[in-house]
């Protein structure tokens, strides 16, 4: 399984639209077996451009923090699953997702302004 996560300093970028790079993670048996970073320089807030770039990576899902409704719709129209409200390190979030243990809270961000969202999730049932 391959997933994409908007990244910043090794963690989930809390605002999808302002991210400058995505981590593409390949998971097998609940563990990260391959990770690469791709830049989306010049595509921030370009819904179609980002959606096409991610679709070309042959991913199944996108895990993110906050995301705007238009971006979420563009990704879903391409057949990608969008899981939002996630936070933490890229590896822990992706492995929690692979093991069906990711605890998220749906969050939508409005575009414009300097909005920074901080979400912390602690779920029961999984040892991260």
Residue pLDDT, tens place only, 63-77:
999 999 988 999 999
* pLDDT at residue 4 is higher than 90: yes
Cα–Cα distance, 128 to 116 (Å, whole number): 25
- Which has more pLDDT, 18 or 95? 95
CA dist list (Å): 101 to 61, 64, 110 = 15, 15, 27
- Nearest Cα to Cα of residue 64 among 125, 4, 20, 126: 4
Using alpha carbons, list the distances in angstroms from residue 122 to 26, 41, 67, 125.
Answer: 24, 32, 20, 10
32-49 pLDDT, tens digit each: 999 999 998 877 667 788
What percent of the chain is predicted at pLDDT more than 90?
A: 55
The pair of structure tokens assigned to 128 is 């991260």
Q: Are 80 and 54 in contact (CB under 8 A)?
A: yes
Contacts of 41 (CB under 8 A, 6+ apart): 20
Greatest Cα pair distance in the chain: 41
Residue 26 has pLDDT above 80, yes or no: yes
Q: Can you give the pLDDT at residue 12? A: 96
Q: Which residue has the higher pLDDT, 126 or 53?
A: 53
Structural domains of the chain ordered from first start: 2-98 (3.30.420.130)
């Amino acid at each position: 399984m391959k997933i994409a996560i908007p990244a910043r300093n090794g963690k989930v970028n809390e605002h999808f639209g302002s991210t400058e790079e995505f981590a593409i993670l390949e998971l097998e048996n609940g563990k990260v077996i391959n990770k690469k970073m791709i830049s989306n320089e010049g595509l921030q807030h370009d819904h179609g451009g980002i959606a096409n770039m991610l679709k070309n990576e042959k991913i199944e899902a996108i895990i993110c923090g906050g995301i705007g409704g238009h971006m979420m719709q563009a990704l879903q129209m391409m057949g990608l699953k969008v899981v939002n409200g996630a936070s933490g390190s890229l590896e822990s979030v992706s492995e929690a997702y692979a093991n069906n243990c990711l605890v998220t809270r749906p969050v939508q961000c409005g575009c414009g302004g300097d909005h920074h969202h901080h979400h912390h999730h602690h779920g029961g049932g999984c040892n991260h």
